[in-house]
Amino acid sequence: MACGQRLINVMARILLFGEIVGKLAAVACWVVQPWSVLGAVFFFVPDFVVLYQLFVPSSQWLCRVFTHFATDNQEVWLTIDDGPDREDTPRILEVLQQHTARATFFVLGERVARWPNLVGQIIQRGHQIGHHTHTHPVGSFWCASRARVRRELDDATAVLFSAGAKVERFRPPVGIKNIFLGSELKSRGLNCVGWTIRSGDCLGRRAEDIVSNVMRQIRPGAILLLHEGSSVPQHLRVKVISLLLEALAARGYRCVLPRIEQLRAGAFAVYPAPYQGLPRPSVTTGSVVD
């Protein structure tokens, strides 16, 4: 872990150094030949590299992101973002209990402040609480100052502690990172968790299609990303999770909470695939149907 974090710190410095060198090289090229193509390459290519590391959830240079876990069994990790929600959370807890499933709820500090009792219910049912920032600043987190990143981390941590939760796992909003995130997480003992399969439950499709798409991609050790609350269309709230648990059980999968030593970082994650023109798996079995 420590060796990996040192490597990430080195890579972050390389990104910054590359930005500076690229801009200087571009200026030098343009002095010799104004607006040359080579100068444009030096100027813009480092920017694209940095943007990739910021906005691609599974990228590893700025922060070590766990995208799957090691297991020899039919096991997956169910993670649920954007709660707690006074309507959805209690219903999700009931569904999880029906299937003897465990999940990690990556919650928002400002929502925990409104409904702190829900955090206690999640923990009492044997589930885990994760950190998902305080305000979910999806539009500005990538360019936030170090002070802003610290506030997002510390304000949520304080609220969670008051609600009885001590967190060790963090997920940035929509997987977007920040150049200061890696060092700030390390100093707080937080591990960054991404996903293997993003369900797409916020996109407003049919619940059956969403579950079928997840089951098409399922494999042991996968981290599944789902949501609760207002970020999910009303007709999909809780229903997707319920149908997914049924489909997983039919395929012999269990939803577990992996230990930290099981977590693995990878370069790629699986995203929702378009359905047009593709055979659709059965919701209950995952087998391909017409």
Domain boundaries of the chain, sorted by first residue = 2-55, 65-272
Residue 270 pLDDT class (50, 70, 90 cuts):
very low
Two structure tokens written together for 33: 């030949």
Backbone angles phi, psi at 18, to 5 degrees: -65, -40
Length of the chain: 290
**Rounded Cα–Cα distance for residues 279 and 288 (Å):** 6
pLDDT of residue 280: 37
Asked if 223 and 193 count as a contact pair (C-beta separation under 8 A), the reply is yes
User: Angle 155-157-162 (CA atoms, 0-180°, nearest 5)?
Assistant: 100
127 tagged catalytic: no
Q: Position of tokens 């990143």?
A: 149
pLDDT of residue 32: 80
| 25: pLDDT strictly greater than 90 | no
SS3 state of residue 178 = coil
Give the tens place of pLDDT for each residue, 215-237. 999 999 999 999 999 999 999 99
Backbone angles phi, psi at 256, to 5 degrees: -125, 170
Active site residue: 81, 82, 85, 201, which one?
81
Give the tens place of pLDDT for each residue, 166-209. 999 999 999 999 999 999 999 999 999 999 999 999 987 899 99
Backbone angles phi, psi at 107, to 5 degrees: -105, 160
Helices within the chain (DSSP H only):
2-32, 37-55, 88-98, 109-114, 116-124, 146-162, 181-187, 207-217, 239-250
Least confident of 55-69, 125-139, 145-159: 55-69
Active site residue: 68, 127, 134, 227, which one?
227
Per-residue pLDDT, averaged over 74-88, amounts to 98
Chain centre to alpha carbon of residue 207: 21
Q: Which one is the CATH code of 65-272: 3.40.640.10, 3.30.200.20, 3.20.20.370, 3.20.20.10? A: 3.20.20.370
Name the nearest CA neighbour of 108 among 201, 227, 203: 227
Q: What separation in angstroms does the CA of 8 have from each of 117, 160, 173, 263?
A: 37, 28, 20, 17
What lies within 8 Å, CB to CB, of 267 at 6+ separation is: 58, 59, 60
Per-residue pLDDT, averaged over 39-61, amounts to 74
Counting Cα atoms < 13 Å in the Cβ hemisphere of 273 gives: 16
**Rounded Cα–Cα distance for residues 109 and 105 (Å):** 12
Find out whether the peptide bond into 84 is cis, omega within 30 degrees of 0. yes
134 tagged catalytic: no
**Beta-bridge mates of residue 225:** 79, 198
pLDDT of residue 17: 57
